Amino acid sequence: MMAEALERAEQRRVALIGDVAHELRTPLATIAGYVEGILDGVVETDEATWALVLDEVNRLRRLTDDLQQLSRVESRQITLAPTPVDPAHLIEAAVTRLTPQFTAKNIELYVNIEPRLPPVWADSDRILQVLINLFGNALQYTPDGGRVVIGAENAGEVIRFLVQDSGIGIAAEHLPHLFERFYRVDKSRTRATGGAGIGLTICKGIVAMHGGQIWATSAGLGCGATFYFTLPLYEHHE
């Protein structure tokens, strides 16, 4: 058994290195393409070119930031600063942050918070990051004219947060894998928009550090998706 477990860990490690190399390759190849074109005199050295190069550099920067955070979360190097947090405040903060982008994309936004929710035991910065990530995904995977709901409700011993969208949806076979490192449903599509499939893995790690759970449901392709996560009540935790 021990040997098998080691073998699996080794396989995951090798797969991880392969994934990281794969993620680095595309932006580096693009940057090299521009620079070579400039050196050969076939690409103009104007502002537009440098802006495109900068896009790729920023993509690499986001990737390395995400990788660093992923490794910190997975090795539990992050220390939480938990306080009693009002779930409504968290949601309002996420809404404030992303409303301009929803407006620009003409997506209807509904906030649905059960009144008088008790405070949760949470590091508010980290949980805000989780909410913004789910909220940002809903924005990204919902076409213009769609609809997104963000909310929270009491679910017994925990508060359950939800982000529901009317977007492209997720086929059943992908649902169990969404939270795995580098998992993307459609590799080519998400490549263009910059995601490496790490965001949800980081979310899962942060929620797990709080003792909560995170999961997704979808009625299938074209039917939208709903992401849920739970957090413990402060009064139960202390």
State the residues that interact with ligand ADP by CB under 6 A. 137-138, 141, 165, 167-168, 170, 178, 183-186, 190, 195-200, 225
Q: Where are the beta strands (DSSP E) in the chain?
A: 83-85, 108-113, 120-122, 147-155, 158-165, 214-217, 225-232
Q: Provide, rounded to whole angstroms, the least separation between the CB of residue 71 and ligand ADP.
A: 15
Residue placing its CB nearer to ligand ADP in the complex, 27 or 199: 199
Comparison of 121 and 204: residue with beta carbon closer to ligand ADP: 204
Per-position b or e across 71-96, b if 16+ CB within 10 A of its CB = eebeeeeeeeebeebbbbebbebbbe
Q: What are phi and psi of 77, to 5 degrees?
A: -85, -10
Select 131 or 225, whichever has its Cβ closest to ligand ADP. Answer: 225
CB of 50 to ligand ADP, least distance (A): 25
**For ligand ADP, the closer CB: 137 or 230:** 137
In order of 86, 99, 112, 152, 227, the CA distances from 116 in angstroms are: 9, 24, 12, 11, 22
State in angstroms the smallest separation of the CB of 199 from ligand ADP.
3
CB of 189 to ligand ADP, least distance (A): 8
- The least distance separating ligand ADP from the CB of residue 119, rounded to whole angstroms, comes to 27
**Distance in angstroms (rounded) separating the CA atoms of residues 164 and 97:** 17
| Shortest-Cβ-distance residue relative to ligand ADP | 195
Smaller CB distance to ligand ADP: residue 167 or 232?
Answer: 167
- For residue 168, the minimal CB distance to ligand ADP (Å) is 5
Indicate the residue among 197 and 212 with the shorter CB distance to ligand ADP.
Answer: 197
Between 107 and 233, CB nearer to ligand ADP? 107
C-beta of 19: minimal distance to ligand ADP in Å? 12
CA distance 23 to 160: 33
78 φ/ψ angles, rounded to the nearest 5 degrees: -85, 130
Residues 6+ apart with CB under 8 A from 192: none
Which string of b and e fits 7-40 if b means at least 16 CB within 10 Å?
eeeeeeeeeeeebbeebeeebeebbeebeeeeee
